Amino acid sequence: MASDSITGFVKTIINADTDEIIGMHIMGYLATELIAQASILIKTKAKVNDVANIVFAHPTISECIMESIEDTHKIAIHLV
């Protein structure tokens, strides 16, 4: 929506027991720019609550990473 495009999505996969981010599916506009962010979160074994300490500027494409992670706990606010 930040780029006038609402096609595509980010899906976050977490370990339900540990809350660790273990994977992401990213499709759509500028998906290739988001893959590095997702890789860092996965490689560092980030947990859902760790994302709360990361600043995501608004409006930006990278916010979809944050929103997808927040949606695993049903606290995302920018849903389509």
Active site amino acids: 58
Q: What 8-state DSSP symbol labels residue 47?
A: B
Contact 14, 68 (CB under 8 A): no
Count of residues making up the chain = 80
Compute and round to an integer the Cα radius of gyration of the chain. 12
